[in-house]
A and B are shown apart, each in its own frame.
Chain A
Amino acid sequence: MQGYESPLRPVLIKGEKTYKDVTRDILRPILGKPSWLWYLGLTASSLALLWGLYAIGRTIFFGIGEWGINRTVGWGWAIINFVWWIGIGHAGTLISAILLLFRQKWRTAVNRSAEAMTIFAVMCAGLFPLLHVGRHFVVYFIYPYPNSRGPLWVNYNSPLFWDVTAITTYFLVSLLFWYIGLIPDLAIIRDYTKSAIKRKIYGALSLGWLGSLKQWQRWETISLHLAGLATPLVLSVHSIVSFDFATSVIPGWHTTIFPPYFVAGAVFSGFGMVLTLLLIARKAMKLEDYITVDHIEYMNKILLATGSIVGTAYLTELFIAWYSGNIYEQYAFWNRAFGPYWWAYWIMMACNVIFPQTFWIRKFRRNLWWTFIVSILVNIGMWFERFVIVVTSLHRDYLPSSWSMYFASWVEVSIYIGTIGLFFTLFFLFIRFFPVIAISEIKHILLSEMALLKRKKSSSVVETEN
Chain B
Amino acid sequence: MNLEHANHKAWRKPFLLSIGLIAFGLLSALVGYFVDGHVHFVASWLTYSVFFIGIALAAVFFIAVHTIAHGGWQVAFLRVPEAMMTFIFFGGIILIITLLGIHDLYHWAHEELIDPNSEYYDPLIAHKAPWLNVPFFVSRTIVYLALWIVLAMWLRNLSQKLDETGNLRYWQRIQFVSGLFLAVFAVTSTLSAFDWVMSTDPHWYSTLFGWYLFSVVWVSMIAVLILWVLWLRKHGINPYIRDEHLHDLGKYLFGFSIFWAYLWYSQYMLHWYANIPEETAWHLLRFKEHRILFYLIIILNFGIPFFALMSRSAKRKPWVLTTVALIVLIGHVFEVWLLVHPSVYHAHHLDHWTFSLVDLGALSFLTGLFIFVTMLAMKRAPIAPEKHPYFKESLTYKT
A binding-site residues for B, Cβ under 8 Å: 1-6, 8-9, 101, 103, 232, 235, 239, 243, 246-249, 254-260, 301, 308-309, 312-313, 315-317, 320, 323-326, 360, 461, 464-466
Is B345 in the interface zone, CB < 8 Å from A? no
Given contacts A247-B274, A260-B263, contact A312 B186 (CB under 8 A): yes
Q: Determine if A257 and B205 form an interchain contact, defined as CB atoms under 8 angstroms apart.
A: no
Given contacts A235-B262, A324-B205, contact A256 B271 (CB under 8 A): yes
- Cβ–Cβ < 8 Å partners of A309 in chain B: 186
Q: Determine if B389 and A6 form an interchain contact, defined as CB atoms under 8 angstroms apart.
A: yes
- Cα–Cα, bound, A309→B131 (Å): 23
- Cα–Cα, bound, A428→B276 (Å): 49
B140-184 with Cβ < 8 A to chain A? 168-169, 171-172, 175-176, 179, 183
- Among the 9-residue stretches B206-214, B231-239, B291-299, B348-356, the one with 4 or more Cβ atoms under 8 Å from chain A is B206-214
- Cα–Cα, bound, A133→B252 (Å): 42
- Cβ–Cβ < 8 Å partners of B101 in chain A: none
Number of chain B residues whose Cβ lies closer than 8 Å to a Cβ of chain A: 51
- Cβ–Cβ < 8 Å partners of A259 in chain B: 208, 262, 266, 270
Cβ-defined partner of A316 (8 Å) among B123, B207, B389, B395: B207
- Cα–Cα, bound, A301→B68 (Å): 9
* Minimal Cβ-Cβ distance residue in A for B127: A325
- Cβ–Cβ < 8 Å partners of B262 in chain A: 235, 239, 259-260
- Cβ–Cβ < 8 Å partners of B346 in chain A: none
Given contacts A239-B262, A257-B211, contact A6 B72 (CB under 8 A): yes
Cβ-defined partner of B274 (8 Å) among A8, A249, A316, A323: A249
Q: Determine if B393 and A316 form an interchain contact, defined as CB atoms under 8 angstroms apart.
A: no
Most central of A9, A248, A316 by chain B CB within 10 Å: A316
Is B390 in the interface zone, CB < 8 Å from A? yes
Cβ-defined partner of A325 (8 Å) among B128, B206, B273: B128
Is B317 in the interface zone, CB < 8 Å from A? no
Number of A-B contacts (CB under 8 A): 107
- Cβ–Cβ < 8 Å partners of A323 in chain B: 128, 131, 194, 205
Q: Determine if A312 and B274 form an interchain contact, defined as CB atoms under 8 angstroms apart.
A: no
- Cβ–Cβ < 8 Å partners of A360 in chain B: 179
Is B322 in the interface zone, CB < 8 Å from A? no
Q: Determine if B398 and A2 form an interchain contact, defined as CB atoms under 8 angstroms apart.
A: yes
- Cα–Cα, bound, A325→B393 (Å): 52
Given contacts A320-B207, A324-B205, contact A260 B266 (CB under 8 A): yes
B187-205 with Cβ < 8 A to chain A? 187, 190, 194, 205
Q: Determine if A256 and B390 form an interchain contact, defined as CB atoms under 8 angstroms apart.
A: no
* Minimal Cβ-Cβ distance residue in A for B276: A249
- Cα–Cα, bound, A101→B210 (Å): 26
- Cβ–Cβ < 8 Å partners of A235 in chain B: 262
* Minimal Cβ-Cβ distance residue in A for B175: A466
Q: Beyond A4-B393, A259-B208: 19 further Cβ-contacts under 8 Å?
A: A3-B398, A4-B395, A5-B393, A6-B390, A103-B399, A249-B276, A254-B274, A254-B276, A255-B207, A256-B208, A256-B266, A260-B263, A260-B266, A309-B186, A312-B186, A316-B207, A320-B206, A325-B128, A466-B176
Is B397 in the interface zone, CB < 8 Å from A? yes
- Cβ–Cβ < 8 Å partners of B273 in chain A: 247
- Cα–Cα, bound, A9→B172 (Å): 14
- Cβ–Cβ < 8 Å partners of A317 in chain B: 207
- Cβ–Cβ < 8 Å partners of A465 in chain B: 172, 175
* Minimal Cβ-Cβ distance residue in B for A308: B186
Q: Determine if B190 and A464 form an interchain contact, defined as CB atoms under 8 angstroms apart.
A: no
Min distance, Cβ B165 to any Cβ of chain A, angstroms: 14
- Cβ–Cβ < 8 Å partners of A8 in chain B: 168, 389-390
- Cβ–Cβ < 8 Å partners of A9 in chain B: 70
- Cα–Cα, bound, A192→B206 (Å): 59
Most central of A2, A3, A9, A249 by chain B CB within 10 Å: A3
- Cβ–Cβ < 8 Å partners of B390 in chain A: 6, 8
Instruction: Indicate with 1 or 0, residue by residue over B247-271, a CB within 8 angstroms of chain A CB atoms.
Output: 0000100000010001100110111
Q: Determine if B127 and A246 form an interchain contact, defined as CB atoms under 8 angstroms apart.
A: no
- Cβ–Cβ < 8 Å partners of A320 in chain B: 205-207
Given contacts A249-B276, A308-B186, A316-B210, contact A254 B270 (CB under 8 A): yes
- Cα–Cα, bound, A124→B278 (Å): 39
Q: Determine if B190 and A258 form an interchain contact, defined as CB atoms under 8 angstroms apart.
A: no
- Cβ–Cβ < 8 Å partners of B208 in chain A: 255-257, 259-260
A-B contacts, 30 listed (Cβ < 8 Å): A3-B396, A4-B397, A6-B72, A6-B392, A8-B390, A232-B258, A239-B262, A239-B266, A246-B274, A247-B274, A249-B274, A255-B270, A256-B207, A256-B208, A256-B209, A256-B270, A256-B271, A257-B208, A260-B266, A312-B186, A316-B190, A320-B206, A323-B128, A323-B131, A324-B205, A461-B168, A464-B169, A464-B172, A465-B175, A466-B172
Q: Determine if A256 and B206 form an interchain contact, defined as CB atoms under 8 angstroms apart.
A: yes
Min distance, Cβ A311 to any Cβ of chain B, angstroms: 8
- Cβ–Cβ < 8 Å partners of A461 in chain B: 168
Is B124 in the interface zone, CB < 8 Å from A? yes
B341-399 with Cβ < 8 A to chain A? 389-390, 392-393, 395-399
Q: Determine if B211 and A260 form an interchain contact, defined as CB atoms under 8 angstroms apart.
A: yes
Min distance, Cβ B203 to any Cβ of chain A, angstroms: 8
Q: Determine if A464 and B263 form an interchain contact, defined as CB atoms under 8 angstroms apart.
A: no
10 closest cross-chain pairs (CB), A and B: A257-B207, A3-B396, A256-B208, A259-B266, A4-B396, A247-B273, A325-B127, A257-B208, A256-B267, A3-B397
- Cβ–Cβ < 8 Å partners of B211 in chain A: 257, 260
* Minimal Cβ-Cβ distance residue in A for B203: A325
Min distance, Cβ A313 to any Cβ of chain B, angstroms: 8
Cβ-defined partner of A1 (8 Å) among B186, B209, B274, B398: B398
B288-319 with Cβ < 8 A to chain A? none
Q: Determine if B398 and A246 form an interchain contact, defined as CB atoms under 8 angstroms apart.
A: no
Instruction: Indicate with 1 or 0, residue by residue over B302-340, a CB within 8 angstroms of chain A CB atoms.
Output: 000000000000000000000000000000000000000
- Cβ–Cβ < 8 Å partners of A258 in chain B: 266, 270
Min distance, Cβ B258 to any Cβ of chain A, angstroms: 8
Most central of B70, B179, B267, B390 by chain A CB within 10 Å: B70
Given contacts A4-B392, A312-B187, A316-B207, contact A247 B270 (CB under 8 A): yes
- Cα–Cα, bound, A3→B390 (Å): 12
- Cα–Cα, bound, A5→B70 (Å): 12
- Cβ–Cβ < 8 Å partners of B274 in chain A: 246-249, 254
- Cα–Cα, bound, A107→B248 (Å): 20
Min distance, Cβ A358 to any Cβ of chain B, angstroms: 14
* Minimal Cβ-Cβ distance residue in A for B259: A235
* Minimal Cβ-Cβ distance residue in B for A316: B207
Instruction: Indicate with 1 or 0, residue by residue over B52-68, a CB within 8 angstroms of chain A CB atoms.
Output: 00000000000000001
Most central of A2, A103, A323, A464 by chain B CB within 10 Å: A323
* Minimal Cβ-Cβ distance residue in A for B390: A6
